[in-house]
Structures are given as structure tokens and as C-alpha cells.
């Protein structure tokens, strides 16, 4: 595992590694991705093994431009409109898969595929150099906080026999949150599958209509996902398999305070602030996601802060209340806290 700065030479090297079936970690504007050739079954198997990712949790495929995305999936008018408005960028679209070269493990046997055209110049250069679609989930071990710095990738895969051959280090990820995912199926209203770097109001402005939102996953949908081993009609499968697994969680418990709840912290706990809320008590460690209460800044800092605080010696991380409008940020923290649906906050 080599951490290198992206140059024409190292990007070419990364492209060669991918072509030979190896894994490569690369920066994107959302978080770091752990990439593999989406047309190579062995590479994809290695990717799932490296992350210890459940086989029922499908991957997002990264493509260099919109034209390629429209050849890979069948886009309806809505998908085309969203692609035009937000690509290259932090939007993932799920649509019926057309390209038979994509191996079935990528979609967890679903008839649909998640695709994104990333904007980061290094991701773009890598896609140009490699000539294959790159399947790339976040470059962390499954369940851990996402990797927003190259060092996070190195830390998570330090002991792994499937560690990426190369990590292209372009500094901290701009957004610090994963892409927003929208499902676009023919004759169905577009559905928001995952909150992310692009906000719901931004999407709704382009669509001119409210987006349907996916109901939170339950244990029942998890059971269905685990049993689903072969392709069946989209309608009878969970719409977004994988969302119900443990996600974004550091090694110590996380507690997100509700609006109005007392910000009391024990001496053994760490404090993760937002805006003007001050902790009551003397935490063992303290950081602020955004002193001015800016959700974008908080998202940018979130995963790195969780990773620092998990090794601070604290027994738990107490997070200041987050504004209701910061849907993606609240969803990530509440999943890290594993306290259930965001609506319950
Ligand atoms: P990540 O873990 O960031 O790579 O996100 C991948 C997520 O995208 C999965 O956990 C699913 O929720 C969603 N996803 C990927 N492919 C599909 C698909 N074909 N249908 C529905 N959701 C998908
Ligand atoms: Mg992830």
C-alpha cells in the first residue's frame, strides 16, 4: 500500500493497477473511494473482501461523463435532467442497467445500477486513463466512518491482505459526505434513496416537484435483502439494499443530543460541538464541527473528527444538536450513533 500524490505518472500507475484487477484508493469531491474495475469479477470480489462489505450491498459505478452514463443505464427524462444539472458532481442515479459488461456482483444482482460522474480532477483523470467503469464505495472498512483523508484509508487497511495497491492523496475531501442517491425508474416518481452532499431542495428545484423519500429500512427488509440472491423484479426487492447496515460508526459509542437536551458531558466523554452550544462539564477531549453553525463546514469535518475522537481515550462522543434542515449531516451522525431513523430524533 503506497500513499502517493497524484501526478500524470502516478495516475497512469493507478490506471494500470486497476486494469490488472488491483484496488486503488482515489479522492473524489465527496469522500475517498476504493476503486476496482467494474467489469472484472475477481477485482470486485477483492473489493467486497477488503471492505468486509455484505454481498447484498451494491456498489456505485463511476464514469467519466454523462454520455457514458447514458450508455450504461437506461435513463428516463427525469434521470437525464438530473444528470444534466448535477454532473459532474455529487449525485448518484440508480436506473435500469443496460451494460452487460458490468459484473453482477456490482449490483448485488439487482437489475438496476447506481452511477455517478465525479467532478474531482484526479477522479476525472483516473477515469480517462483507465478506460473502464470504476466501482468505488467509500475507502473505509464496512461500518466505519467514511475516509475523507488518504491517511484514513491507510489506517483502515493497514492490516488488510486486500489493501489497495496505491492511495492517491489529494488532501481532505471537499464535501466530506457521500453522494446523494436518487432512484429513477420508468413510470415511477423519482425517489431519494440517500441524503448526501446535494441537498433535497437543490434537487427539488431542478425537478420542480417534491421528491419521494425512501421509508427507513427495517429488520424485515434486511431479511429480504439477505435472502435475495438472484435477480427478481425491482418492486419485490428492498429499494436501497445496504442502507440498514451499521454505518459511519467509530469504535466508541456516539450520542447525538436532541434540540433542547442538556449538553452535559462526563469527564470521560468527548464533546463534538456545533454552533454556539457549549458543553456542561469538562470533557476529556473537545472539537467543533463548525463554530459558526455551518452545515457544509460541519460535513467537511465530521468523519475526520469522529476518527480523532475515537482514539482520544474518551469512552463516548457526545454530539451537539444539529439543525433539522441539515438532513444529510443528521442522518450520518444518527447512523453513527445507531439510534435508528432520523425521524426519531
Ligand atoms: P456506498 O456504500 O457509499 O458505496 O453506497 C452504496 C449505496 O448505494 C448502497 O448501500 C445502496 O444503498 C445504494 N445503491 C447502490 N446500488 C443500488 C441499486 N442498484 N439500487 C438501489 N440502491 C443502490
Ligand atoms: Mg460507505
Per-position DSSP letters for 262-311, written without gaps between them: --B--TTSEEEE-TT---BS--SEEEES-TT--HHHHHHHHHHHHHHHHT
- The CATH code of the domain that includes 125 is 3.90.870.10
Same domain, 328 and 191: no
Question: Does residue 134's CB lie within 6 angstroms of at least one atom of ligand 1?
Answer: no
Final residue of a structural domain among 176, 201, 236: 236
Q: Which are the contacts of 219, defined by CB distance < 8 A and separation ≥ 6?
A: 244
Q: What pLDDT score was predicted for residue 188?
A: 87
The DSSP string of 18-74 is HHTT--EEE--SSS-EEEEETT-HHHHHHHHHHHT--TTS--EEE-SSHHHHHHHB-
Q: What is the pLDDT of residue 162?
A: 95
Query: How far is the C-alpha of 43 from the C-alpha of 49, rounded, in Å?
Result: 10
How many percent of the chain have pLDDT more than 90? 84
pLDDT of residue 225: 35
Residues 107 and 161 in one domain: yes
Q: Which of 236, 264, 287 delimits the end of a domain?
A: 236
Same domain for 219 and 334?
A: no
Q: How confident is the model at residue 298 (pLDDT cuts 50, 70, 90)?
A: very high
- Domain span including residue 7: 2-236
Using most ligand atoms within 8 A of CB, pick from 112, 133, 181 the residue to mutate for ligand 1.
181
> Alpha-carbon distance 101 to 99, whole Å?
5
**Strand, coil or helix: what is 328?**
helix
Q: Is the minimum distance from the CB of 191 to ligand 1 under 6 angstroms?
A: no
Residue 262's Cβ-count burial label (10 Å; 0-12, 13-18, 19+) is exposed
Residue range 95-147, pLDDT digits in tens: 999 999 999 999 999 999 999 999 999 999 999 999 899 999 999 999 999 99
> Is the shortest distance between the CB of 272 and ligand 1 below 6 Å?
no
296 in a structural domain: yes
User: Among 29-38, 89-98, 217-226, which is the least confidently predicted range?
Assistant: 217-226
Same domain for 274 and 301?
yes
* Residue nearest to ligand 1 atom 11, measured at CA: 240
Query: In terms of pLDDT, which residue wins out, 45 or 338?
Result: 45
pTM: 0.91
- Give pLDDT tens digits for 274-295: 999 999 999 999 999 999 999 9
Same domain, 313 and 185: no
* Cell numbers linked to 127: 477515469
Residue 309, pLDDT above cutoff 90: yes
Q: At 218, which helix (H) or strand (E)? A: none
pLDDT at 212: 85
Pick the closest to residue 32 from 213, 153, 119, 162 (CA basis). 153
- Same structural domain, 222 and 277: no
pLDDT at 1 over 50: yes
Q: Enter the DSSP assignment of 250.
A: -
Length of the chain in residues, anyone? 345
Which pLDDT value is given to residue 242?
Answer: 57
**Long-range Cβ contacts of 95-102 (<8 Å, 24+ apart):** 95/183, 95/184, 95/185, 96/185, 96/186, 97/72, 97/73, 98/71, 98/72, 98/73, 98/74, 99/71, 99/72, 99/73, 99/133, 101/38, 101/39, 101/133, 102/38, 102/39, 102/61, 102/72, 102/133
Same domain, 307 and 211: no
Is residue 224's pLDDT more than 50?
Answer: no
* pLDDT at residue 259 is higher than 70: yes
Which residue from 129, 128, 174 is spatially nearest to 149, judged by alpha carbons?
A: 174
Kindly give the distance from the C-alpha atom of residue 94 to the centroid of ligand 1, in angstroms, as a whole number.
8
- Mean pLDDT score across all residues of the chain: 90
Better-scored residue on pLDDT, 243 or 5: 5
Round to whole Å and give the CA distance between 18 and 11.
Answer: 11
- Nearest to residue 304, comparing CAs of 173, 187, 161? 173
Q: What is the pLDDT of residue 239?
A: 58
**Would you tell me how many other CB atoms lie within 10 Å of the CB of residue 293?**
18
Strand, coil or helix: 182: strand
Q: Residue 253 C-alpha to ligand 2 middle, in angstroms?
A: 19
In this prediction, residue 247 has a pLDDT band, given cuts at 50, 70 and 90, of confident
Euclidean distance between CA atoms 100 and 21, whole angstroms = 18
Pair 197, 326 in one domain: no
pLDDT over 80 at 221, yes or no = no
Amino acid at each position: 500500500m503506497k500513499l502517493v500524490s497524484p501526478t500524470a505518472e502516478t495516475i497512469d500507475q493507478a490506471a494500470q493497477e486497476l486494469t490488472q484487477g488491483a484496488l486503488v484508493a482515489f479522492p473524489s469531491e465527496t469522500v475517498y473511494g476504493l476503486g476496482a474495475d467494474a467489469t472484472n469479477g475477481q477485482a470486485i470480489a477483492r473489493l467486497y473482501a477488503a471492505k468486509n462489505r455484505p454481498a447484498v450491498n451494491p456498489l456505485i459505478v463511476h464514469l467519466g461523463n454523462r454520455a457514458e452514463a447514458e450508455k450504461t443505464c437506461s435513463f428516463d427524462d427525469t434521470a437525464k435532467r438530473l444528470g444534466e444539472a448535477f454532473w459532474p458532481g455529487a449525485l448518484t442515479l440508480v436506473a435500469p442497467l443496460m451494460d452487460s459488461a458490468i459484473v453482477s456482483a456490482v449490483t448485488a444482482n439487482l437489475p438496476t445500477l447506481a452511477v455517478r460522474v465525479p467532478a474531482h480532477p484526479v477522479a476525472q483523470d483516473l477515469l480517462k486513463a483507465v478506460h473502464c467503469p470504476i466501482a468505488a464505495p467509500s475507502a473505509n472498512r464496512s461500518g466505519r466512518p467514511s475516509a475523507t483523508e488518504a491517511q484514513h484509508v491507510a489506517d483502515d487497511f493497514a492490516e488488510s491482505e486486500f489493501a489497495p495497491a496505491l492511495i492517491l492523496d489529494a488532501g481532505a475531501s471537499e464535501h466530506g459526505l457521500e453522494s446523494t442517491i436518487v432512484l429513477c425508474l420508468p413510470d415511477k416518481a423519482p425517489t431519494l434513496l440517500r441524503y448526501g452532499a446535494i441537498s433535497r431542495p437543490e434537487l427539488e428545484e431542478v425537478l420542480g416537484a417534491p421528491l419521494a423519500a425512501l421509508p427507513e429500512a427495517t429488520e424485515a427488509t434486511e431479511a429480504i435483502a439477505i435472502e435475495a440472491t438472484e435477480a427478481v423484479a425491482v418492486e419485490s426487492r428492498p429499494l436501497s439494499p445496504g442502507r440498514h447496515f451499521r454505518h459511519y460508526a467509530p469504535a466508541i459509542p456516539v450520542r447525538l443530543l436532541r434540540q433542547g437536551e442538556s449538553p452535559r458531558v462526563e469527564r470521560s466523554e468527548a464533546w463534538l460541538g456545533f454552533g454556539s452550544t457549549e458543553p456542561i462539564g469538562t470533557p476529556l477531549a473537545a472539537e467543533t464541527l463548525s463554530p459558526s453553525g455551518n452545515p457544509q463546514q460541519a460535513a467537511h469535518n465530521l468523519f475526520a473528527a469522529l476518527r480523532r475522537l475515537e482514539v482520544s481515550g474518551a469512552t463516548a462522543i457526545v454530539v451537539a444538536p444539529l439543525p433539522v434542515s441539515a438532513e444529510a449531516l443528521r442522518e450520518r451522525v444518527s447512523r453513527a450513533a445507531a439510534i435508528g431513523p432520523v425521524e426519531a430524533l
